[in-house]
Amino acid sequence: MKIDSLPQKSARFETIQGPPIAPMNDIISKELHCNTQLNISFGVIILTLVISMATVSCLIQRSAEQTYHAIATTFVHNMATQFIEQQFKPLEYTLNETSNFIDGPKLAGFLDKEQSSLRTVLIQTLSINPSITSIVASDLQGHFNTVPFLPVATDFDATTRPWYRSSTSRSLFVNYSDHYTNAQTGQQTVSFSQLIVSQDGYPLGTLAMDLNLEHLSYPLRQLKSPLKGEFYVVDRAGDILLHSDVSNLFRHSVDPALIGKMTNGEDHLHDPQTQTHVYYYSFSNPDWFVIYTVSDADFNSATRADAYLLLIAIPVCLLICLLCWGSLRNCFNKMIIQIVAMLRIGRIDLDKPDNLLRQEIQSGHDQMQEAVTASTTDALTGLFNRRSFDQDLRACVDNGQPFFLGMVDLDNFKAINDKRGHLMGDTVLKTVAQEGMQGAGKRANLYRYGGEELALLIPGDNKNSAIALLEHWRQRVETRQWREADLVVTFSAGLGQWQQESISQLIEKVDQSLYEAKRSGKNRVHYAD
């Protein structure tokens, strides 16, 4: 033990008193010098921080772009189907009902400018529809008369007018004209017309109505869009037909080449010439497009806001890292001096090291994500909404399995709204939907197609079962007792089986069957053979 202890004492004395003190300090300083490691570590931290925050910033921006694209697309879809389209449904219904009222003698009396019952009906129709500026009726030879009556030149040829095309058409559907100059008023207008057919099925002439596009545009002034942009409706040529600023009506706005890229349905395009995002929804009849444009500057301002906040935080984080780096470097230098000093005097407890350095790194990362979940259910009726209908109908066609499509339209629903108020109308619509859901159960899916129109998809190929389901629903509605004793609610329905045709052809077939049910006296189900 003595032999072992002597060298230790000798080493201790040499460390404190002898010449080897200077070489020992050099070794300690060299071993404990950590500036290089500290610089490298903080360099890696700072580089990682910059790359991470830049990457996250790009991901946030990309996520925001996708979110705003979805919001804008949903906005255009809802405006087109729940607002604009609903303005034209009552007008088409008015045109259809008025044309059904006209027969040969009534048309002849009106064209002879007599005080006929048809003139009285047209005047009343015009007075209760502010969206219509004038009504014109003509026979197959081009003789015509208008309400209100306005003179025209003696050489005026009615057969050359855009609305007259209905007389040469075999279609009983409503035809919308391109915008043209009205020969009587000299103003630009758009007409929608329909063939007048006798009870025997022979064409008698044309009934046309001029749209008051300014009146139809006024509600757009109260429009609240999700992004700063411009919302309007254009025809196939790109001319504006509806706009919140009526001074823009008929102004050419969208390049035909861009319209040519717009497929049927809804989508989003980017126009590099005008540097705008173009969101659109296309109608089949009329051949119009609902357009919502957002400039690149406004779109980027909305989508890059959160990303910019994160980028602004990078210099702040770098400054904090530099302060920490300077503080740690200072602490390490002090620690080395203290360790050397304690080694000089021999008082250091390696089993219980002093807590000289305490580094606390705290990083915070908040990522905000906005999600738009388009509801698949109509809030009023509890049925599936139009978007669900489009998706399910496409799925049925793609699946290739047989199914039936039914279209339901409440009879005289406008009269219920006008006489009893829209709250009562909502109650009626909701009750009819509930009757349908209770009667159908799991045998069919019911949808609110739009306004007072409902739709249902019935899987299978049993025609009698499908008709019975609709008839049962119709009878439940017809025999229902309402709180208002004098209230009677019925509906007409069209039903058709998918025969491998396209979706548009199937809808047109069933819609035509619905019109047949209406023309046959309403309150009935008509099957499209």
CATH of residue 184: 3.30.450.20
The length of the chain, given as a count of residues: 529
In this predicted structure, the answer to whether residue 257 has a pLDDT above a threshold of 70 is yes
Tens of pLDDT, residue by residue over 184-242, are 778 889 999 988 888 888 888 899 999 999 999 988 888 888 888 899 999 988 899 99
- Specify whether 233 is located in the same domain as 169: no
What pLDDT, on a 0 to 100 scale, did the predictor assign at position 384? 92
Which DSSP symbol is given to 239? B
For tokens 């998918």, the residue is: 498
Tens of pLDDT, residue by residue over 108-131, are 888 887 678 888 899 999 999 999
What pLDDT, on a 0 to 100 scale, did the predictor assign at position 169? 62
Distance of CA 426 to the CA centre of its chain: 23
> What is the mean predicted confidence (pLDDT) over 372-401?
85
Contacts of 377 (CB under 8 A, 6+ apart): 383, 384, 385, 388
- Specify whether 205 is located in the same domain as 231: no
* Other beta carbons within 10 Å of 118: 24
In a domain, 345, yes or no: no
- Specify whether 272 is located in the same domain as 397: no
For residue 440, what is the domain's CATH number? 3.30.70.270
Give the active site residue among 266, 435, 452, 453. 452
In a domain, 82, yes or no: yes
Which DSSP symbol is given to 179? P
- Specify whether 132 is located in the same domain as 224: no
User: What burial letters (b/e) apply to 122-159, b meaning 16+ CB within 10 Å?
Assistant: beebbeebebbbbbbbbbeebebbbbeeeeeeeeeebe
In a domain, 470, yes or no: yes
| Radius of gyration of the chain from its Cα atoms, rounded to whole angstroms | 39
How many angstroms separate the CA atoms of 483 and 489, rounded? Answer: 12
In a domain, 34, yes or no: no
Tens of pLDDT, residue by residue over 408-431, are 999 998 988 888 898 988 999 999
In a domain, 223, yes or no: yes
Q: What percent of the chain has pLDDT over 70?
A: 83
Best CA proximity match to 278, nearest among 313, 231, 316: 231
Task: Print the domain residue range for 515.
Answer: 386-528
Give me the DSSP letters along 287-356.
-EEEEEEEEHHHHHHHHSHHHHHHHHHHHHHHHHHHHHHHHHHHHHHHHHHHHHHHHHHT---SSS----
The answer to whether 525 and 473 are in contact (CB under 8 A) is no
- Specify whether 191 is located in the same domain as 279: no
- Specify whether 246 is located in the same domain as 144: no
Q: Is 497 exposed, middle or buried (0-12, 13-18, 19+ CB in 10 A)?
A: buried
How many angstroms separate the CA atoms of 114 and 208, rounded? Answer: 19
- Specify whether 201 is located in the same domain as 247: no
For tokens 């600023």, the residue is: 245
Which of 211, 227, 248 is the endpoint of a domain?
211
In a domain, 373, yes or no: no
How many angstroms separate the CA atoms of 489 and 429, rounded? Answer: 10
- Specify whether 443 is located in the same domain as 515: yes
In this predicted structure, the answer to whether residue 141 has a pLDDT above a threshold of 50 is yes
- Catalytic residue status for 452: yes
How many angstroms separate the CA atoms of 292 and 315, rounded? Answer: 38
Q: What is the mean pLDDT of the chain?
A: 81
Q: Specify the 3-state DSSP secondary structure of 405.
A: strand
- pLDDT band at 74; cut points 50, 70, 90: very high
More confident residue, 278 or 345: 278
- Specify whether 393 is located in the same domain as 502: yes
In a domain, 37, yes or no: no
Which of 163, 184, 211 is the endpoint of a domain?
211
Which of 303, 320, 342 is the endpoint of a domain?
303
Lowest mean pLDDT, pick from 304-318, 374-388, 470-484: 304-318
> What is the mean predicted confidence (pLDDT) over 446-458?
92
In a domain, 53, yes or no: no
- Specify whether 266 is located in the same domain as 198: no
Strands 191-197 and 175-176, sheet pairing: antiparallel
Lowest mean pLDDT, pick from 19-23, 214-218, 263-267, 511-515: 19-23
Q: φ, ψ for residue 500 (rounded to 5)?
A: 70, 15
For tokens 């071993």, the residue is: 31
- Specify whether 416 is located in the same domain as 516: yes
More confident residue, 199 or 344: 199
What pLDDT, on a 0 to 100 scale, did the predictor assign at position 336? 67
Tell me the two tokens of residue 221: 């002034």
- Specify whether 207 is located in the same domain as 235: no
The number of domains in the chain is 3
In this predicted structure, the answer to whether residue 347 has a pLDDT above a threshold of 60 is no
